[in-house]
Copies of this chain bind each other. A is one copy, B any other.
Amino acid sequence: MRANKPKGLSINKGVEKPSSLNTDAIRKGIYKKAENLPLAKYMDGILKGDRMILGRAITLVESSLADQHEIAQRIIEKCLPYSGNSLRVGITGIPGVGKSTFIESFGLDLINKGKKIAVLAIDPSSDRSKGSILGDKTRMEKLALHEQAFIRPSPSAGTLGGVARKTRESILLCEAAGYDTIFIETVGVGQSETAVHSMVDLFLLLMLPGAGDEIQGIKRGIMELADLIVINKADDNRIEKVKLSQRDLLNALHLFPPTPSGWTPAVEYCSARNGSRLDLVWEQIRKYEDLIKKNNYFNIQRKDQAKYWFYETLNAELKRQFFEDNRIKKSLKKFEKQVLSSEISPFEAARQLLETNQKNTV
CA distance A314 to B331 in the complex (A): 13
Q: Is A353 close to B, CB under 8 A? A: yes
CA distance A208 to B202 in the complex (A): 31
* Chain A interface, number of residues (Cβ within 8 angstroms): 62
Choice from B77, B216, B318 contacting A348 with Cβ under 8 Å: B77
Q: Could you give, for residues 331-362 of chain A, a 1 whenever the CB lies within 8 Å of some chain B CB and a 0 otherwise?
A: 00001100110111111111101100000010
Q: How far is the CB of A212 from chain B (nearest CB, A)?
A: 6
Residues of B within 8 A of A223 (CB): 255-256
Q: A221-B221, A340-B307, A344-B80 are in contact. Are A317 and B350 (CB under 8 A)?
A: yes
Choice from B251, B309, B317, B342 contacting A346 with Cβ under 8 Å: B309
Q: How far is the CB of A135 from chain B (nearest CB, A)?
A: 24
Residues of B within 8 A of A335 (CB): 310
CA distance A251 to B361 in the complex (A): 56
Q: Could you give, for residues 77-97 of chain A, a 1 whenever the CB lies within 8 Å of some chain B CB and a 0 otherwise?
A: 100110110000000000000
Q: Is A220 close to B, CB under 8 A? A: yes
Residues of B within 8 A of A344 (CB): 77, 80
CA distance A258 to B213 in the complex (A): 11
Q: Could you give, for residues 125-153 of chain A, a 1 whenever the CB lies within 8 Å of some chain B CB and a 0 otherwise?
A: 00000000000000000000000000000
Residues of B within 8 A of A340 (CB): 303, 306-307
Residue of B nearest to A310 (CB): B346
Q: Is A191 close to B, CB under 8 A? A: no
Residue in A81, A211, A347 with the greatest tally of chain B CB atoms within 10 Å? A347
Q: Is A295 close to B, CB under 8 A? A: no
Is the CB–CB distance between A310 and B322 below 8 Å? no
Taking CB atoms and an 8 Å cut-off, the chain A residues in 90-129 that contact chain B are: none
Choice from B73, B219, B339 contacting A306 with Cβ under 8 Å: B339
Residues of B within 8 A of A169 (CB): 345, 347
Q: Does more than half of chain A's interface fall in helix, strand or loop, or is it mixed?
A: helix
Q: How far is the CB of A345 from chain B (nearest CB, A)?
A: 5
Residue of B nearest to A259 (CB): B220
Residues of B within 8 A of A350 (CB): 309-310, 313-314, 317
Is the CB–CB distance between B224 and A339 below 8 Å? no
Q: Is A65 close to B, CB under 8 A? A: no
Residues of B within 8 A of A315 (CB): 315, 319
Q: Is A172 close to B, CB under 8 A? A: yes
Residue of B nearest to A344 (CB): B77
CA distance A310 to B341 in the complex (A): 13
Residues of B within 8 A of A309 (CB): 346-347, 350
Q: Is A71 close to B, CB under 8 A? A: no
Q: How far is the CB of A116 from chain B (nearest CB, A)?
A: 21
Further contacts, 14 of them, CB under 8 A, given A216-B258, A219-B257 = A73-B348, A76-B347, A81-B342, A169-B347, A215-B255, A216-B257, A218-B257, A221-B221, A248-B255, A310-B336, A310-B346, A310-B347, A313-B351, A315-B319
- List 25 A-B pairs, Cβ < 8 Å: A73-B348, A77-B348, A80-B345, A172-B345, A212-B254, A212-B255, A216-B257, A217-B257, A220-B224, A221-B224, A224-B224, A248-B251, A248-B255, A252-B252, A306-B339, A306-B340, A306-B346, A307-B339, A307-B340, A307-B346, A309-B347, A310-B336, A310-B349, A313-B347, A318-B318
